[in-house]
Each structure stands twice: as structure tokens, then as C-alpha cells.
């Protein structure tokens, strides 16, 4: 009975740190992103609440506050993370009842804001990166522009993935 009561009254922050994040590190490529969202946003919002006390309205309020400063796509990533966290909590017996994210609609995402640098802008960014006092940052910016890889792909690159003779970088994921 005591163990069941402990699970029924588990705080969100304890579940997130002790249960969800270790699972994410083991199973998700986006674990670092999840950890950042959990520590910077979710724990401040829900940390002191018991899992069972977080309802659909709480999720709506949280997302509404996020939407003031963040893009719809980013807010949708937060919703997906919360939904996964609550789904796992239910599977692991940490939560009874329905997932409070069920029935919460995603924000409409628009890709219309996406644009690419033109040749002149690219030249100017490359020149500025060349003049950057922090040579590592300048080199990183030039590398990203020249290769088109994403930041995380560049950070996870290893020398064994580089073929200097063929001038190629293999992206394993």
C-alpha cells in the first residue's frame, strides 16, 4: 500500500529526473534536447505538482505561455515530449488515468518563415566569420555554411567519418 501511495503522489520533477531522463538517454537521439526542455521549462512549470494532479487544462496553460515567445513548432515539440513522458508514466505504473496531453491540439506550423542566404549574404557571413576573434567559432560557422550540415551533425562528427581524399563527411544518422 505504501509503495502504491508513493507512486500516486510522485512529484513531476522526481519522475522527470529519476525516471524519464535516464530512459531518454538510453533510447532517444534527442535526449539532450529533452533534458534541456525538462530542466529549463517543464520542471519550473510542473516540478512541484504531483503527476496525478496535472490535467489537460494545465497543459493548455503551459503551451499558451510558451507560445508567447516560442514558435509553434517548438511548442509542438514540448507537447510531444510531455505526451511521451505521461505515456511512459502510465506504462510504468507511475500514473493512473488518462494522459493529460490527450485531446490537446497541436499548433499550426508554417514553414513560410524559412529562407536561405543569397550569395551576397553568404559572402558577408563568411567574411565576418573569417574576421571573428574566436577562431573556433569562426571556423565552425564557415564549416556549417560550406557543408550544410546541422549543428548537431557537426558536433557529433568524428574523424573516422571524414574522408579527406574524397572530400566527404559521412553522417551515420
Q: Is the dihedral of CA 149, 21, 13, 77 positive or negative?
A: positive
Model pLDDT, residue 5: 43
Residue whose C-alpha is closest to residue 89's, from 50, 127, 144: 50
Per-residue confidence in pLDDT tens, the chain, 173 aa: 344 445 557 999 999 999 999 999 999 988 999 999 999 999 999 999 999 999 999 999 999 999 999 999 999 999 999 999 999 999 999 998 889 999 999 999 887 667 788 999 999 999 999 999 999 999 999 999 998 888 888 888 899 999 999 988 888 87
Instruction: Indicate the pTM of the whole model.
Output: 0.68
Predicted pLDDT at 153: 87
Amino acid at each position: 500500500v505504501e509503495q502504491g501511495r508513493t507512486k500516486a503522489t510522485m512529484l513531476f520533477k522526481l519522475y522527470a529526473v529519476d525516471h524519464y531522463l535516464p530512459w531518454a538517454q538510453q533510447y532517444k537521439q534527442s535526449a539532450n534536447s529533452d533534458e534541456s526542455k525538462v530542466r529549463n521549462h517543464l520542471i519550473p512549470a510542473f516540478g512541484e505538482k504531483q503527476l496525478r494532479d496535472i490535467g489537460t487544462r494545465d497543459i493548455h496553460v503551459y503551451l499558451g505561455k510558451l507560445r508567447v515567445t516560442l514558435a509553434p513548432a517548438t511548442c509542438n515539440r514540448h507537447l510531444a515530449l510531455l505526451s511521451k513522458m505521461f505515456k511512459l508514466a502510465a506504462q510504468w505504473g507511475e500514473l493512473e488515468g488518462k494522459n493529460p496531453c490527450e485531446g490537446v491540439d497541436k499548433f499550426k506550423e508554417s514553414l513560410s518563415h524559412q529562407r536561405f542566404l543569397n550569395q551576397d549574404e553568404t559572402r558577408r557571413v563568411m567574411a565576418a566569420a573569417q574576421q571573428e576573434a574566436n577562431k573556433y567559432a569562426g571556423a565552425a560557422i564557415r564549416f556549417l555554411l560550406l557543408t550544410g550540415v546541422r549543428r548537431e551533425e557537426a558536433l557529433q562528427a568524428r574523424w573516422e567519418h571524414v574522408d579527406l581524399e574524397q572530400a566527404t563527411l559521412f553522417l551515420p544518422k
